[in-house]
Structure 1
Amino acid sequence: MKRLILINLLFLFMLLLHSPAASQDAAGEPIPQVPTPGMVTMLDLGAHKCIPCKMMAPVIEELQKEYQGRASVIFIDVWQNREEGAKYSLRAIPTQIFYDETGKEVSRHVGYMDKKSIVAMFDKLGVPKTKAAGNAQ
């Protein structure tokens, strides 16, 4: 059953990937540079209307706030920005791609990824757990 659902989601993703659409996000904003120069970056590729991606949204928002200035956490909606799916060789969504400070891809995960696992990857990549005392706001 799970395999059938995954196959159907993949088919839907591929169908949507090849249909015409605008190449800007919902707010009409430009796609951010990925990876962020000089910073550990986590890129979450998904869609605002995808169920597992919706489950990831609050995690992404928390991480963006908690790691501001220490790691870059970026979300790109690949249903609204179809060329991005091909650019990152997506096979399914959501997909999380981690880059080290030099911009090298070091890990890729497909599917929902919980906050604890993402934080563990940030730890592995040397991202400080908290802001330095001088940087606290």
Structure 2
Amino acid sequence: MISCEEEKSAVKPEEPKIPPAYEEFGGSLPKLLDLGADKCIPCKKMAPILEELKEQYKGKMEVVFIDVWKNAKESNKYGIRLIPTQIFFDASGKELFRHEGFFSKEDILNKWKELGIDFSNTTENK
């Protein structure tokens, strides 16, 4: 069962792999995939953060949201345990990191930096 989770929780992926749906996103950019639901409270809190990241880092990072309550097979495809879950992929599609629960913009950008992808030199539209 998939439930909403407010608290932060880092989950190390068992084995980095390219999930089947990754190719659907295309491109050669690092990707942040957020699996959640439109009616989940922590997911609603994530929505403006994801939109801001999508706009601010357009051409540098791809941000994708999948509503798992409307697309139930996606939760199985990615093996998520609760929502929201954020999955970080490098440009080749390799899974780098997973996080369960709300994740702030600052924490997301810090995680990218920790993973070796630094967006801080990108011009930000404020």
Question: When the two structures are superposed, what TM-score results if normalisation uses the length of structure 2?
Answer: 0.74
The structure that is strand-richer by fraction is 2
CA distance in 2, matches of 1:87, 1:102: 19
Q: 1:8 to 1:59 in 2, by over 3 A?
A: closer
1:122 shift after superposition: 2.5
1:116 aligns with 2:106: yes
Aligned length: 106
Rounded to whole Å, the distance in 2 between the matches of 1:114 and 1:65 is 16
Q: Considering only aligned residues, what root-mean-square deviation do their CA atoms show, in Å? A: 2.5
Please give the per-residue CA displacement for 1:54-109, whole angstroms capped at 9, x wherever unaligned.
01011111100011000011101011111101000010000000001111001000
Pairwise CA distance, 1:129: 2.5
1:126 aligns with 2:117: yes
Change in Cα spacing, 1:131 to 1:100, as seen in structure 2 (3 Å) is same
Kindly name which structure, 1 or 2, has the bigger radius of gyration based on alpha carbons. Answer: 1
TM-score w.r.t. the length of structure 1 is: 0.68
Identity %: 42
**Unaligned 5+ residue runs, structure 2?**
5-21
What is the CA-CA distance between 1:39 and the residue it aligns to? 1.0
- Greater RCO (CA < 8 Å, at least 6 residues apart): 2
Distance 1:99 1:8 in 2: 22
Match of 1:44, as an amino acid? D
Question: Which is richer in helix?
Answer: 1
Task: Name the CA distance, whole Å, in 2 between partners of 1:81 and 1:32.
Answer: 17
Are 1:46 and 2:46 an aligned pair?
no
Matched-pair contact (CA < 8 Å) for 2:89–2:96: yes
| Distance verdict in 2 for CA 1:98–1:8, change over 3 Å | closer
CA distance in 1, matches of 2:2, 2:48: 25
Structure 1 gaps of 5+ residues are: 1-6, 11-30
